[in-house]
């Protein structure tokens, strides 16, 4: 059975969406902390971060669905781990950073009431680079799919 090709438009729409969310998050990170915490910055940042992380995992799931054994079931952390194991991104980055991103996505969705302005503000200043690293990896896949055993349509 021939694996399905990666749908370029499906991935590009999500890549562009993630990049837009990162711009919003970077703008929000420039707000002084007290204004961020007391104003809409805190709430908006959760919204934009959630959308960016959903995009990350939609892309991962789409790409993994194109390779044999690429989607063994499980949750977001499993998707992150498999993305590295299948060679789409550096394995150590997937195991540490992508799995952490998956955990934070779950925190945003299920434990949102426990998230503090300080926590999100710190994340905006220290962790957005992980999403950018992911974006670079996906762009490399689209530019040279055969290197990863894929085709793109």
* Closest to 127 measured CA to CA, from 34, 52, 62: 52
Contact (CB, 8 A) for 85 and 148: no
pLDDT band with cut points at 50, 70 and 90 for residue 122? very high
pLDDT for position 57? 97
Long-range pairs, 41-44, Cβ under 8 A, ≥24: 42/117, 42/120, 42/121
Question: Is residue 151 in some structural domain?
Answer: no
Report the pLDDT averaged over residues 47-54.
98
What domain range is 52 assigned to?
8-142
Question: Is residue 137 in some structural domain?
Answer: yes
Question: Is residue 74 in some structural domain?
Answer: yes
Report the pLDDT averaged over residues 14-27.
98
Question: Is residue 152 in some structural domain?
Answer: no
pLDDT band with cut points at 50, 70 and 90 for residue 55? very high
pLDDT for position 1? 59
Question: Is residue 153 in some structural domain?
Answer: no
CA angle 112–113–114, rounded 5-degree value:
90
Q: Specify whether the backbone of 69 is left (phi greater than 0), alpha (psi in -120 to 50) or beta.
A: left
Question: Is residue 63 in some structural domain?
Answer: yes
pTM of the entire predicted model: 0.94
pLDDT band with cut points at 50, 70 and 90 for residue 70? confident
pLDDT for position 69? 78
Question: Is residue 102 in some structural domain?
Answer: yes
Question: Is residue 1 in some structural domain?
Answer: no
The distance of Cα 99 from the centroid of its chain, to the nearest Å, equals 10
Number of domains in the chain: 1
Q: What CATH number is attached to the domain comprising 52?
A: 1.20.120.580
């Amino acid at each position: 059975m021939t694996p399905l090709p990666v749908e370029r438009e499906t991935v590009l729409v999500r890549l562009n969406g993630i990049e837009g969310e990162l711009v919003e998050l970077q703008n929000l990170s420039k707000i002084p902390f007290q204004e961020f915490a007391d104003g809409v910055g805190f709430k908006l940042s959760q919204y934009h971060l959630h959308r960016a992380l959903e995009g990350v995992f939609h892309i991962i799931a789409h790409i993994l669905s194109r390779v044999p054994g690429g989607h063994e079931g499980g949750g977001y952390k499993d998707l992150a781990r498999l993305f590295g194991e299948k060679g789409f991104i550096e394995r150590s980055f997937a195991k540490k950073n992508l799995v952490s991103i998956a955990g934070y996505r779950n925190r945003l969705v299920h434990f949102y009431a426990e998230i503090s302005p300080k926590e999100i503000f710190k994340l905006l200043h220290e962790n957005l680079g992980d999403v950018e690293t992911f974006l670079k990896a996906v762009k490399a896949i689209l530019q040279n799919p055969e290197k990863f055993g894929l085709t793109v349509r």
